[in-house]
Chain A
Amino acid sequence: MEGLLSFLAAIVEIATSAAIVDVIWATLLGIVVGMMPGLTATLGVALMTTLTFDMEGQRAILILICMYVGAIYGGSRSAILLNIPGTPANAATSLDGYPLAREGKAGSAMAVATTGSFVGGMIGMMALAVVAPALADFALGFGAYEFFWLAVFGVVVAGQLTALDDPIKGWIAGFLGLFVATVGQEGIHAIPRFAYGSTDLAGGIGLLPAMVGAFGFAEILSVMRQEAYTVVRSRMDSVWSGLKSAFGYKVTAVRSGLIGTFMGLIPGVGEDMGAWASYAAARQASGEKEKFGKGSLEGLVAAETGNNAAVPGALIPVLTLAVPGSAPAAVLLAAMIIHGIRPGPLIMIEFPDFVFSVVAMVFMATCAMAVLGLLLTRPLLLVLKVRRERLMPVIFVLCTVGAFAISSRMFDVWIMLAFGVLGFILREMKYPMAPLILGIVLGDILDKSLRRGLVLSDGDLTPFFTRPISIVLWGSLVLLVILSMPAVRGFVARRARRWRRGEAGP
């Protein structure tokens, strides 16, 4: 009840006429960014962070959340109409969305995607309101030992889940990110590391220029490498008929919303895994499994509910642990710090109203997304007609200016270029980008927590392994690493097959 009152108070405080205008344009811009193949939610939020640099904190965060929610939803449009996910989070959407569009049911597919995204956003928002204060309270008991393991856990789990078929590549990306974070002056004795006399390097590698490079410039190179896309040309049915169909999948939507929120909560995993895990669970539970991948409305509901539920889910660890649940959430974390908000276990003490302000912002963004998505279905199709040869140079200009704008130094433009090329090469070799970015964010926490922990214990490693939360974190890590080994996976699969045969037999 207290939470509900705090939420209503936050809505009343935030929903001024000026804020509503901000919500409308920022969500619409987010949808447009998400729709365009090559522009991801991460890039949108990162570029918008540079633009909202001088704004008042609450207004800037509202705009960034609207951009985030809008972009994750907007990606469903290109997934349905082009068979190209607008953002990686919409990859599962294209499996059923595109076949539906080819059958002339693009309108229904977009309506179902909108409904699913709305339900997902609302379930995630409720989880944010309930879980965040409780988790912040729980995290007050975290010390250096727990934060060290949390940082290691975040990077390893993100590496594992974003590179499912080859976890070692995910871990390498994460370790590289952690290493990048160690470049520059360290936080205890202010000794420059790996700077080699450069004052720019001594200042460290900024998260935002690195992200604009890894998610912006690298994406431009990837898009230019691919063949040009074409919009599906078929009859489009009414959006409103699709709304009725969506209500037939309430159970799928609620289950996907919960799974998506949970996947968002796991550090660095984010929206794409939220969609894939929800999609897989929906297929497992469905009575019409054979339709999945061939134009199943249920599959579409699951994917879109899952990815939008992961957005508020990813904000939970951002607010309570200062650990991002996804790549765009990592930018939001940086933006909050820029605007003087200190996310972490003390948030409910230092900024008691802020968590519910974020809940209210997610609510407003989700409502705007649903209304704009349904009302502007046909006008938004024009966005997909923009040719990549004309869009990409404009995006690169924004990447360059965005990287420069943060601290007005050319070094950040060089960082953007370097991370763009590195990101492109790593992507081509199937290395995921999210653990790299998470590593950059968590590097400082890991560095300080390990050294502080060692000082507190006078060099004794025992507390790292014996405190209750530490045991859970390192135990899960060891289990995860062992289970990802091909020999162990093969053994487990063989045992499971034998067990199933034994169960099915006489």
Chain B
Amino acid sequence: MTEDLRHRAPPAGPKPMDRADFVFSIVLTAFGVGVIVESLRLPRLENLDVNPYTVPGIVPGILGIALALCGLALLIRSTARGGWRVGIGGTLAAGAGRAPAFRRVTVTLVLTFAYALLMFGNMPFWLATALFVFAFVVATERMMPDRRATWRSIAGAAVLAVACGVAVGFVFEELFYVRLPG
């Protein structure tokens, strides 16, 4: 009913999505098989004389089969659509067109992981947060083609960073009694 409103018919021929489906289907099938194997290795508790229908591996095993079957169905479909033929060159060419987007996502990933894994919990919360927010704002605003880093924008980022570190820490620790690490 709503199909025509939400999606347009895809053009004929292999597309980067078919390639992604092809790769993901192999990963998913392997994952499904792995889940089946690991489910079979789960304890069956025969020594405890438990009802065999309650063994812990039964549901994960069925889910492993379902995932492997879905992976196979996706593999057959993406192969039929020529997903395996879209080479790495094609994928890279498609990616190059979105280079600024790729750079923004990479910077976001690096900064967020650095904050959550290295800074959060290893230094005072307000300082870690202020450093992260400041770095994020300055780094991503510099990537915008229509914006230049001015002293005013950098000062604004610094004020936001310190305010965020202090305010979030205050709200969680003083109002909601959450003990933050660091």
Contact = CB atoms under 8 A, between A and B. Distances in A.
A is bound by B: yes
Interface of A: 50-51, 53-54, 91-92, 95, 164-165, 168, 171-172, 175-176, 178-179, 182, 186, 188-189, 191, 193-194, 217, 220-221, 224-228, 273, 276-277, 279-280, 387, 389-390, 392-394, 396-398, 400-401, 404-405, 408, 410, 413-414, 416-417, 421, 428-430, 446-447, 450-452, 454-455, 458-459
Interface in B129-158: 129, 132-133, 136-137, 140-141, 144, 157
A327 B104 CA distance: 28
B101 A397 contact: no
A469 B113 CA distance: 48
A280 B1 CA distance: 7
Q: Is the interface of A mostly helix, strand, loop or mixed?
A: helix
A217 to B, nearest CB: 7
A276 B2 contact: yes
B66 to A, nearest CB: 5
B104 A178 contact: no
Contacts of B96: none
B2 A228 contact: no
Contacts of A452: 54
Among B45, B52, B73, B172: residue with most chain A CB under 10 A: B172
Contact of B45 (A182, A189, A401): A189
Interface string B5-33: 11100000000010011001000100000
Contact of A164 (B6, B17, B21, B101): B6
Contact of B181 (A164, A191, A404, A454): A404
B56 A221 contact: no
16 contacts: A54-B176, A172-B74, A189-B48, A193-B57, A221-B105, A389-B141, A390-B137, A390-B157, A392-B108, A397-B115, A397-B132, A401-B178, A405-B176, A413-B117, A416-B116, A452-B54
Nearest to A53: B176
A400 B115 contact: yes
Contact of A455 (B53, B109, B172): B53
Nearest to A396: B112
B63 A179 contact: yes
B3 to A, nearest CB: 5
B123 interface: no
Contact of A401 (B6, B24, B63, B172): B172
7 tightest CB-CB pairs across the interface, nearest first?
Answer: A454-B53, A393-B136, A389-B140, A276-B2, A405-B178, A447-B59, A393-B133
Contacts of A401: 168, 172, 178, 180
B73 A168 contact: yes
Most chain B C-beta atoms within 10 Å of own C-beta, residue among A168, A401, A458: A401
Given A276-B6, A280-B2, A176 B67 contact: yes
Contact of A429 (B17, B115, B172, B176): B17
Contacts of A224: 104-105, 108, 140
A91 B2 CA distance: 12
A92 B4 CA distance: 13
A279 B1 CA distance: 10
A138 B77 CA distance: 42
Contact of A410 (B28, B121, B141): B121
A450 B181 contact: no
Contact of B51 (A171, A392, A455): A455
Given A225-B101, A405-B176, 8 more contacts: A193-B56, A396-B112, A397-B164, A400-B116, A405-B172, A408-B179, A428-B20, A459-B52
B58 interface: yes
B132 to A, nearest CB: 6
